[in-house]
Structure 1
Amino acid sequence: MTAYSVLWNPSKDLLSIGSFTIHWYSFLWLIGLGLAYIIVFRLYRRQQIPMEKFEPLFFYCFVGILLGARLGHCLLYDPGYFLSHPVEMLLPVRQTIDGGWRCTGYAGLASHGGTAGLMLALWLYVRRTKVNIMRVLDNIAIATPITACCIRLGNLMNSEIVGKYTGSDYGFIFVANGDIFPRHPGQLYEAVAYFLFFIIGVALYRRFSHKVGTGFFFGYCLTTIFMFRFVVEFFKEVQESWEISMVSAIGLNQGQLLSIPFIIIGLYCLLGGRLCKKWGEH
């Protein structure tokens, strides 16, 4: 290790008492969701949306994000294995060699799947509560980057989704992964970027609060997060070995390909697409 590199080897456990353990990743996921809950609660109250319509929102979001992120990882990154082990897609368990089961937690969550799951959950929420769909999407979008920031910090604590070797003395040495040379801390790059996107989004809301319900903030969120995700993937290792041949063939990995549709949708909403005007408030 040089004076310019960080020897990264934190414990994955935040707290352990007997057989009870709280992992950093789970804790940061909950912190991210909790912050989003508080932010959207305040937005609903400020916009005088009845609180009885806010109450079911967290349940829909939590289930949609978790199921979407889990199914997204299983079906987009390793469908061969998980389609033959469907129980492991939905439950945080892994089948052992001797045919038994062990609890592993959800080892694999995909942000693209989580985003798709969230949008489906919000559609169901809107059908129940009759709150305008674009207003809901805009309010959720204002809070989303801070949750994404917390999730990437969780990935950093787990030493997962690591970057490529920097080829210099700068970077993080992920000891838990057996590294001896520094890599790009891609998780930290994303966490910092998403935090900045959140701060900018809040500033935009304070100045252009009248745009809530037009799709503007939803478009801003999708465009900034997935454009940055597209770029930062060039500095990250692929998540699955089969992506190596994909990168060799087209120069892009699975995460980048999946980001493109979200970028297009984001730009469409950010620029005031026709459907946003149709579905928005008048």
Structure 2
Amino acid sequence: MPPLFAIPFPAIDPVAVALGPITIKWYALAYIVGLVGGWYYARRLVASDSLWGVVRRPKLSDVDDLIVWVALGVVLGGRIGYVLFYNLPMYLDDPAEILAIRNGGMSFHGGFLGAIFALLLFARMRGLNGYTMLDLAAVVTPIGLFFGRIANFVNGELWGRPAPDFPYAVVFPTGGEVPRYPSQLFEAGAEGLLLFVVMALAVRRFGFRKPGLIGGIFVLGYAVTRTFCEFFREPDPQLGFLFGGDVGALGGGITMGMLLCLPMAVVGLTYIVLAARGVTRPRNPEIEIQAEAGQI
């Protein structure tokens, strides 16, 4: 029997839309809403003259094209990252499973690297500032993170560590009868809502006039919020705790998610410092202004 004060997991159908043989799951819908929401917000940011200064900004048509590049980068990078970081031995034994995305398995850190690669390649092909494109993506990314974590909760996956004394603990169908932290909702709040507010305030204060600054704030902010949430999230069963092993909340176990956030924090802080010192600013502002006006 489940503990007296645990909240039963709500019976939510993982399939959001079903039209005959065609089904769309909440997780896929979260990706779609996140990408479309990010695209809409990015267009609004690009259209705001006060945010850009002398830095060349992308055209609205560039934003329309970029959504496809980012979507491919996120999906491919997320899958490759999960294979490499979280379950490599299994996929080496059965390589065909790498393509079975329907069975789940996506890594944010892998999707993050895939999106960066897509953004930089796109910027190079369009003659745009790579740092600026990363900054633009950083402001809108929390939208996708929020909906993605909500979808994790709906699917009853990536649940939290045991929380027998937490008044809002949830008994997940695949987590046994142990009440657990709803860590997916913690991540939706921290990595999604909180980081969205932080990025919105940052871009309002600094704009995109210091390439790399906004992106650095996001990378550092995500590393901090994800690390915090990892204290409540149950490690992947095939990995467990990489160091330590206390299974209690806020215990002493180091997870793969924490480990991957460490270089993110270093990179984010580095780019904040470089951007603040003007290292990443355009070397020839006059050329940037001419490019903005379409004269070159």
Q: What band does the TM-score fall into relative to the shorter chain?
A: 0.7 to 0.9
Is the Cα–Cα contact under 8 Å of residues 210 and 275 in structure 2 kept in the other structure?
no
Pairwise CA distance, 1:247: 3.8
Distance verdict in 2 for CA 1:106–1:30, change over 3 Å? farther
Is the Cα–Cα contact under 8 Å of residues 139 and 212 in structure 1 kept in the other structure?
no
> Does residue 67 of structure 1 match 2:76?
yes
Is the Cα–Cα contact under 8 Å of residues 141 and 221 in structure 1 kept in the other structure?
yes
Query: What RMSD over aligned residues (CA atoms) do the two structures have, in Å?
Result: 2.4
Q: 1:228 maps to which residue? A: 225
- Tell me which moved more, 39-48 or 224-233: 39-48
Is the Cα–Cα contact under 8 Å of residues 160 and 180 in structure 2 kept in the other structure?
yes
Q: In 1, distance between residues paired with 2:140 and 2:199?
A: 9
> Does residue 8 of structure 1 match 2:17?
no
Matches within 5 A, 1:163-242: 163-168=160-165, 170-177=167-174, 179-193=176-190, 194-209=192-207, 211-242=208-239
Q: 1:99 maps to which residue? A: none
Is the Cα–Cα contact under 8 Å of residues 134 and 281 in structure 1 kept in the other structure?
no
Q: 1:120 maps to which residue? A: 117
Is the Cα–Cα contact under 8 Å of residues 6 and 172 in structure 1 kept in the other structure?
yes
Pairwise CA distance, 1:232: 1.4
Pairwise CA distance, 1:178: 5.2
Matches within 5 A, 1:25-44: 25-44=27-46
Pairwise CA distance, 1:259: 0.8
Q: 1:24 maps to which residue? A: 26
Q: In 2, distance between residues paired with 1:106 and 1:268?
A: 37
Pairwise CA distance, 1:248: 3.4
Q: 2:108 maps to which residue? A: 111
Opposite residue 122 of structure 2, the aligned amino acid is Y
Pairwise CA distance, 1:21: 1.8
* Equivalent of residue 140 in structure 2, options 140, 143, 149: 143
Q: When the two structures are superposed, what TM-score results if normalisation uses the length of structure 1? A: 0.86
SS of the equivalent of 1:177 reads: coil
Opposite residue 31 of structure 1, the aligned amino acid is V
Is the Cα–Cα contact under 8 Å of residues 134 and 280 in structure 1 kept in the other structure?
no
Opposite residue 221 of structure 2, the aligned amino acid is T
Pairwise CA distance, 1:246: 3.8
Q: In 2, distance between residues paired with 1:238 and 1:52?
A: 42
SS of the equivalent of 1:271 reads: helix
Pairwise CA distance, 1:6: 2.6
Pairwise CA distance, 1:273: 5.4
Distance verdict in 2 for CA 1:83–1:232, change over 3 Å? same
| Unmatched tracts of structure 2, length 5 or more | 50-56, 247-251, 284-296
SS of the equivalent of 1:243 reads: coil
Q: 1:87 maps to which residue? A: 96
Q: In 1, distance between residues paired with 2:64 and 2:95?
A: 32
Instruction: Give per-residue Cα distances to partners, 1:160-218, cap 9 Å, x unaligned.
Output: 11101112152332342153332111110010112121122112222322x44421110
Pairwise CA distance, 1:3: 8.2
Distance verdict in 2 for CA 1:169–1:203, change over 3 Å? closer
Q: 1:101 maps to which residue? A: none
Instruction: Give per-residue Cα distances to partners, 1:198-252, cap 9 Å, x unaligned.
Output: 122112222322x444211101111111111112112111113333464439831
Q: 2:294 maps to which residue? A: none
> Does residue 53 of structure 1 match 2:55?
no
Distance verdict in 2 for CA 1:44–1:268, change over 3 Å? same
Is the Cα–Cα contact under 8 Å of residues 32 and 148 in structure 1 kept in the other structure?
yes
Q: When the two structures are superposed, what TM-score results if normalisation uses the length of structure 2? A: 0.82
SS of the equivalent of 1:80 reads: helix
Instruction: Give per-residue Cα distances to partners, 1:257-280, cap 9 Å, x unaligned.
Output: 111001111111223359x84444
Q: In 2, distance between residues paired with 1:245 and 1:132?
A: 38
Q: In 2, distance between residues paired with 1:133 and 1:40?
A: 15
